[in-house]
Amino acid sequence: MTEPVSPREAGLEVAAHVTGKLPPTLEVVGVRHGAFGALGSGDTSGFGGLVSPIVMPGPTARPYGGWFDDAADELALALPDRGITMEDAVERVTVYRDELTFQVRREHLVAFMATLRDEPALRFEMCMGVSGIHFPDDHGRELHAVYPLLSITHNRRLRVEVTCPDDDARIPSIVSVYPTNDWHERETYDFFGIVFDGHPSLTRIQMPDDWPGHPQRKDYPLGGIPVEYKGAEVPPPDERRAYT
């Protein structure tokens, strides 16, 4: 099946149709074909030609609401002390479901995190680890690392998100700022193959040391199940016909 339009174009098209005007940017991370997600599987539902973009919540403009604006102001004031500006460090800000996300450029991650931790008005003492997300169709931004932060002092939470391309899967380690991320970064390396530069000992933590591949990636091959009938095989879960 040929892709009629790129995911981004499809997303913009749909959004324009829905809202009546073209939004500035949209967070399109992929595209879905058909209603059952399987290609070449004899899908007779008639939905095979359906193309729908996968659109994540896009950037939010000011005001963000609540304390989110204060936090952003404090950050904009404090970041220059470390030699960077808010515009340098932050790609976009998203507010979704009452949760604040800063998407930070990876080269400024460590300084950004140190500011969040040390600035008295921010004081995010706790980092709740790092989780990876793999969007194979989001070209140039395939791998996302997501850091939830908690400030016990101010009783606030926010999230920092960093992206990196698959062919240069490197993100600076923040173990020097939050030592708790030692194991968390090892886990994300183990499952997604993101290399955290500067980590004291970046080795696999859950999988055996000699395991090939990174299992949580969407392109990690899943095994099918052989069936004792004319050499048939139950396909792997990601190739089966399924509702999507």
Partner 1 sequence: MSTDNVTDVTDEDVVFESGDPYAPSYDTTTGTVFTVSGGDWDSIAPPAEGEKERIVVNMGPQHPSTHGVLRLILELDGETVTEARCGIGYLHTGIEKNMEYRTWTQGVTFVTRMDYLSPFFNETAYCLGVEKLLGVTDQIPERASTIRVMMMELNRISSHLVALATGGMELGALTAMIFGFRERELILDIFEMVSGLRMNSAYVRPGGVAQDITDDQVARIRETLPLLRKRLRDTSDLLVDNAIWMGRTVGVGYLDLAGCMALGVTGPILRSTGLPHDLRKSQPYCGYENYEFEVQTQTTCDAYGRFLIRVGEIQQSLAIVEQALDRLRPGPVMIEDKKIAWPARLSIGSDGQGNSPEHIKEIMTESMEALIHHFKLVTEGFSVPAGQVYSAIESPRGELGAHIVSTGGNRPYRVHYRDPSFTNLQAVAAMSEGSMISDVIAAVASIDPVMGGVDR
According to DSSP, the β-strands at 143-151 and 131-134 are: antiparallel
Q: CB of 231: closest distance to partner 1 in angstroms?
A: 24
Which spans of this chain sit near partner 1 (rule: CB under 8 A)? 29-30, 32, 54-57, 96-97, 99, 101, 125-129, 131-134, 146, 148, 150, 152, 155, 157, 159, 178-184, 187, 204-208, 215-216, 237-238, 242-244
CB of 35 to partner 1, least distance (A): 10
Quick one: 173 or 181, whose CB is closer to partner 1?
181
How many residues does the structure list for the chain?
A: 244
Task: Please state the closest distance from residue 215 (CB atom) to partner 1, in A.
Answer: 6
In the complex, the smallest distance separating the C-beta of residue 133 from partner 1, rounded to whole angstroms, is 5
DSSP class of 200: T
Q: Which is nearer to partner 1, 84 or 150 (CB)?
A: 150
Cβ density class 26-42: b for 16+ within 10 Å, e for less: bbbbbbebbbbbbeeee
177 token code pair: 């700022």
Is the Cβ of residue 47 or residue 183 nearer to partner 1 in the bound state? Answer: 183
CB-nearer residue toward partner 1: 114 or 126: 126
Cβ–Cβ under 8 Å, residues 104 and 114: no
d(CA 74, CA 102): 14
Q: How far is the CB of 237 from partner 1 (least distance, A)?
A: 4
Compare residues 88 and 220 and give the one whose CB is closer to partner 1: 220
Beta strands in the chain (DSSP E): 27-33, 51-56, 90-96, 99-104, 126-127, 131-134, 143-151, 156-164, 170-172, 195-197, 225-226, 233-234
